[in-house]
Amino acid sequence: MLKGFVTLDPEARVAPVRRRLFGSFVEHLGRCVYTGIYEPGHPTADADGFRSDVLDLVRELGVSTIRYPGGNFVSAYRWEDGIGPVARRPARLDLAWHSTEPNTVGVDEFMRWCRLAGVEPMLAVNLGTRGIQEAVDLLEYCNIESGTRLSDLRREHGAKNPHNVRMWCLGNEMDGPWQVGHRSAAEYGRLAAQTARAMRMVDPKLELVVCGSSSSSMPTFGAWEQTVLGETYDEVDYISAHAYYEEHDGDKASFLASAVDMDYFIGSVVAAADLVREKGKKQKRINISFDEWNVWYQSRLAAELPTDSWPVAPRLLEDQYSVLDAVTIGGLLISLLRHSDRVHAASLAQLVNVIAPIMTEPGGRAWRQAAFHPFALTSRYAAGEVLRVQPASPSQKTRRYGDVPILDAVATVDDDGQASVFAVNRSPAEAMTLAVDARTLGDARIVECVTLSDPDAYRVNTADHPDAVVPRPNTTATVADGRAELLLPPASWTMLRLAPPPTS
C-alpha cells in the first residue's frame, strides 16, 4: 500500500483564496452560446431566451467570472454587430471556427445573463483585425453612464446603467499563427501598450490582461513574455497563460500528472515577469490570469471543423469527460490554488457544451459532466487562506515528466478554523493511505470526506445516466488526536473537510 502524508499549518500561508480563480469562459464557438446558455423556445427559457436549467447548473458550479466573447473568435469580431434590434444584426463568417455567427447574442445580452448567473464579466477586445479605437469604443459603450454617443446608444438599447466591466483582455493568443491578425511579440506589445494607455484615459482603474503564451510548448515561450512585458509592463496588471491537456497513447500516469506542467508554466511566466521588473526597476508585480485551461482532446480537432460549409452553432469540441479527465482537472485546480500568490484569476475553458462541465441537448436536458464535480466542490469549499502543505509520498516514473510524486495536495483554512484538503492519487493502479496531521487546528473533527473515482477510469456521465460519475462519501476517513487518515483509491480526487469542535 502506498503511503502519503501532509501537514496542515495555519502559519504556512501562501495567499488568500482568490475567488477569480474559479472563473470560466463563454466563446461564440460551437454550441456554447446557441443551444447552450441561450435557446429561445426551450421549456426552461426565460423572456430573454436564456435556459434556466443551465443557469441553475452554472450557479451550482460556483463560477466567479466569465471571459467573453473569445478566444480565437474575438480576433475577427465586430462588437457593433451584436447590439441593437436583433432583426437588424448582420450574420458574419467566423473565420476562427469556420462557422456563421448570427449575432443574436451580443454584449448587452451577455451582460444580462451575467447578472442572472451572479458572475463578473471579463471582456476581450479584438486586437487581431482591429485596434485602439474599437477597444475604446467598446469601453465607452459598456462603462460610461451617459452623455456620449455610445453610452447613450447603450441606453437606447435598454441598458440604462453602465455594465461596469473591470477586467479586460487585450486580444487573445496573439503568439499563435492560427490567430487572425497574428503578430510578433514586439508588434503585439506595442499595440497592446497603446490600447491599454487609451483605455486607461477613459478609466484608470481598469484591470488589464496582456496576452502571454498560448502554451508552454510554443517556440517563443519565455521570450514572448519578456518582449511583450518590456512594452506593456507599466500599462497592464496581468499576463495571460493558456494550457490544455489530454491523455496520449494510454499514458495515464503522465496525464494524471498534468499539474506538473502547469506548475512549470506558472513558474516560468513568473520568472519572466520578475526579470522584466528587475531590469526596469519597477515597483509593481505583474500577476497571472490563467484565462484558458482545461482537459481538451485537441488531437481530434482537425476532424471536427467544418470545411465545405459555414453552419450556425455546429457541434464542435463536445468532449465527454471521464473519471480520469475529472481527476486530472481536480489536480490542475490544486496547482492553481498552490500558486494563488501569483495566479490571481483563471478561466476554465469553456462553460457549456464546448470542452465543458455542463452539457445540453437542444430542446432537451442539461446535465453535469464528471469534470463538473471537482470544480464545484473546490469553488464551494476552498476559502480563507491557501496553505503550503508540502505533500510527501513515493514517486512514479512518467513518460512525459520523469519521476513525479504520486500524491498531490493543497489545503485551505478559513477564519473559523475550518480546513479543506484537496488531494489526488496519481497512481493509475495503486491505492494510497493518506495521513493528515491537523493538530495545529486543535481537536479537529471530520465534517465531510468525498472521493471521485471508479474502477472504470473511462466512465462518463450522459443525458440518460447523468449521475454515473459523482463524488461519493469516503467512509474510510477517521480522525483521532488531531490526525486524520483515509484511503485514496487509484486515479482519484478527494476532498476532506475538517473543523474545530463546536463551541458550547
Where on the phi/psi map is residue 85: left (φ > 0), alpha (ψ -120 to 50), or beta? beta
Q: What is the pLDDT of residues 259-308, one digit of tens each?
A: 999 999 999 999 999 999 999 999 999 999 999 999 999 988 877 888 88
Would you call 191 helix, strand, or coil by DSSP? Answer: helix
Architecture per CATH, domain 2-9+386-499, reads as Sandwich (2.60)
Q: What is the pLDDT of residues 151-170, one digit of tens each?
A: 999 999 999 999 999 999 99
Asked if residue 369 lies in contact with residue 359, where contact means CB atoms within 8 angstroms, the answer is yes
Q: CATH 3.20.20.80 in the chain, residues?
A: 18-381
Catalytic residue among 27, 109, 120, 292: 292
Q: CATH 2.60.40.1180 in the chain, residues?
A: 2-9+386-499
Q: What is the pLDDT of residues 296-344, one digit of tens each?
A: 999 888 778 888 899 999 999 999 999 999 999 999 999 999 999 999 9
Angle between helices 323-338 and 258-280 (to 10 degrees): 30
Catalytic residue among 120, 173, 231, 385: 173
Question: What was the pLDDT predicted at 442?
Answer: 86
| Cα torsion 406, 487, 329, 228: sign | negative
Enumerate residues 6+ apart whose C-beta is below 8 A from 430.
1, 2, 406, 490
Asked if residue 371 lies in contact with residue 295, where contact means CB atoms within 8 angstroms, the answer is yes
Question: What was the pLDDT predicted at 481?
Answer: 93
User: DSSP of 357-392, one letter per residue?
Assistant: SEEE-TTS-EEE-TTHHHHHHHHHH--SEEE----B
- pLDDT band (50, 70, 90) for residue 128: very high
Averaged pLDDT score across all residues of the chain:
97
Question: What was the pLDDT predicted at 307?
Answer: 85
Q: What is the pLDDT of residues 201-212, one digit of tens each?
A: 999 999 999 999
- pLDDT band (50, 70, 90) for residue 69: very high
167-170 and 120-125 strand pairing? parallel
Question: What was the pLDDT predicted at 504?
Answer: 60
Q: How many helices (H) and strands (E) does the chain have?
A: 11, 25
CATH T-level fold of 18-381: TIM Barrel (3.20.20)
Q: What is the pLDDT of residues 381-408, one digit of tens each?
A: 999 999 999 999 999 999 999 999 999 9
The verdict on whether 134 is a catalytic residue reads no
Q: Is the pTM of this model over 0.95?
A: yes
Nearest to 333 by CA among 263, 251, 432, 425: 263
Q: What is the pLDDT of residues 209-242, one digit of tens each?
A: 999 999 999 999 999 999 999 999 999 999 999 9
Question: What was the pLDDT predicted at 303?
Answer: 74
Angle at the Cα of 188 from the Cα atoms of 219 and 191, rounded to 5 degrees? 170
The verdict on whether 448 is a catalytic residue reads no
